[in-house]
Amino acid sequence: MNSSAKPAPRIVIIGAGFSGIGLAIYLQQAGIHDFVILEKAASLGGTWRENTYPGAECDVPSALYSFSFEHNAQWHYKWAEQAQILDYLQHVAEKHGLLPHMRFGRQVIGGKWDAASKQWQVQTADGGTLACQFLVTAVGQLHVPNLTRLPNAEIFRGEQFHSAQWRHDIDLHGKCVAVIGNAASAVQFIPQVAKQVARLSVFQRSPNWIFPKQDRPYAAWEQWLSDHVPGVAKLYRLRLWLRAELIIFPLMRGSKWLAKFGTKMTTDYIAEKIADPELRKKLLPDYPIGAKRILFSDDYYDALARPNVELITTPIAGLTASGVKCVDGSEIEVDVVIYGTGFRTNPFLSSISLVGAGDTLLKDQWKDGAHAYLGISTNGFPNLFMMYGPNTNLGHNSIIIMSEAQARYIVQAIQGLDQRDAAAMDIKPEVESAFNDELQQRLATMIWSKVEASWYIDGKRITNNWAGSTQEYLRRCKQIDWGNYVLEKRA
């Protein structure tokens, strides 16, 4: 990619998933067309392109896990499957003419702020460079698989792979399979794998709080109403949003009566599905409900109750040539090992080396944990905007809501700089510090702080989750306070 081949774009967006696509559309709506989207893969879609494991679907209702400006009346299920979400993103990108702005196979490995030109110099893995005034990271938090292998993995003679890199060429029928991990992805693919294999051994470190999903296909008349009757789709989306804000979010804040209600729901659900009292005990968490991500499934417990499935809670010592060995000396022979070990959510932006003003490395600035004002701006990195950045993940609602708020904020920033005849903006350090001090104080009172091990936590700080409601975040992102930024005039 030679920067001299074409005029340099004003804005570079890294990532062609929900956030990158959403921002591009908001830019177009504001009359801003001078942007490119750099995507490392050969096609768009982000996590919905990468995760193709059996049973992959969203754990947020489809009507809420979609753009507010791009309603889809044709969702097949209340909770959309991976393939249809990917189709939705492809449709949205094509409808809004985004494909000409996308550069596929361009993995961004670094970016350096040039104070003299007030531009970012972006480096790609193919050796190319690209200059831009604004750099936006839209790479998400769940895109780098946690590929940590078990001890002695290299001597195992069978097949092994991560769920985010599913080996569709491996036929699991009649095989003996081990699944390492049982969180969000595993809860979805375990029921599908259990139907195929001769024996499935699920290795669990800690159980999850799981609610029944109550999924079902939409009826044709429901799709028709959603598409043709004004207001129906918006009211339905509003109902889903309010349920998350008024019921699930208070649980994150430690509501005792909601915790009691949720605990009973899971306990009753386990009792309904699992007859074995010992297995029931293994499936009931010993940490507060909501402290780790609550999962939704209609078939996970059914899968564990199958005669060909065993839940193993004995810690793993490592692999052998023919299977999995536990610390008690027992060994389970298997043909295939599937890692359902999730993603590397910390450190943030670990795959991109960003160098700001004064040659400051972002990874050094974040050595004690990632932080950013509104999860969007961090001091010393002018004109760098983050989408789905530090402390913007949700434990109760749709991340698309946060993403759209960030997109509107970034568009407002670009327009505001032009109106002020300025070339760059940098969040003041005292503003960022005050914001994050307040945020961490609030997070310390949330239910997520009640556990030591969680992907929400980086060391001793909660660096992933937002401490408030989505309504609060929308309000705080609605209008830029220009007094919070240092502006640099054009040269």
Rounded-to-integer distance, Cα 290 and Cα 285, Å: 11
Decide: 357 and 426 in contact? Cβ < 8 Å. yes
The gap from C-alpha 283 to its chain's centroid, in whole angstroms, comes to 25
* Through-space distance between the first and last CA atoms of the chain, rounded to whole angstroms: 27
Tokens 């509003």 belong to which residue? 238
Rounded-to-integer distance, Cα 184 and Cα 341, Å: 9
Decide: 348 and 465 in contact? Cβ < 8 Å. no
Rounded-to-integer distance, Cα 170 and Cα 129, Å: 39
Rounded-to-integer distance, Cα 55 and Cα 300, Å: 11
Decide: 370 and 348 in contact? Cβ < 8 Å. yes
Rounded-to-integer distance, Cα 309 and Cα 273, Å: 14
Mean pLDDT by 10 residues, the chain (491 residues): 61 98 99 98 96 96 96 95 98 98 98 97 96 96 80 96 96 98 94 98 96 95 93 95 92 90 96 97 94 94 98 97 97 97 80 95 93 98 98 94 99 97 98 97 88 64 91 98 96 71
For position 461, what pLDDT does the model report?
A: 81
* 3-state SS assignment for residue 36: strand
Q: How far is the CA of 282 from the CAs of 140, 211, 276, 300, 367, in angstroms?
A: 33, 16, 10, 14, 37
* 3-state SS assignment for residue 60: coil
Rounded-to-integer distance, Cα 108 and Cα 40, Å: 7
212-243 CB burial, b ≥16 within 10 A, e <16: bbebeebeeeebeebeeeeebbeebbeebbee
The gap from C-alpha 126 to its chain's centroid, in whole angstroms, comes to 27
Rounded-to-integer distance, Cα 467 and Cα 284, Å: 26
Tokens 């559309």 belong to which residue? 25
Domain ranges of the chain: 11-144+344-489, 145-208+293-342
For position 4, what pLDDT does the model report?
A: 40
Decide: 288 and 270 in contact? Cβ < 8 Å. no
Amino acid sitting at position 111: G
CA-based nearest residue to 101, from 27, 30, 47, 46: 27
Quick: pLDDT tens for 80-97. 999 999 999 999 999 999
Give every CB contact of residue 444 below 8 A, 6+ residues apart in sequence.
none
- Does domain 11-144+344-489 bear CATH number 3.50.50.60? yes
Rounded-to-integer distance, Cα 390 and Cα 413, Å: 19
**How deeply is 297 buried, as exposed, middle or buried, from its count of CB atoms within 10 A (0-12, 13-18, 19+)?**
buried
The full DSSP string for 351-372 is: TSEEE-GGG-BHHHHTTT----
For position 276, what pLDDT does the model report?
A: 96
**Domains 11-144+344-489 and 145-208+293-342 agree in fold:** yes
Rounded-to-integer distance, Cα 190 and Cα 234, Å: 34
For position 490, what pLDDT does the model report?
A: 85
* 3-state SS assignment for residue 159: strand
Find the helix or strand (DSSP H, E) in which 27 lies. helix 18-29
Tokens 């564990």 belong to which residue? 304
For position 3, what pLDDT does the model report?
A: 41
CATH number of 145-208+293-342: 3.50.50.60
**How deeply is 313 buried, as exposed, middle or buried, from its count of CB atoms within 10 A (0-12, 13-18, 19+)?**
middle
For position 140, what pLDDT does the model report?
A: 83
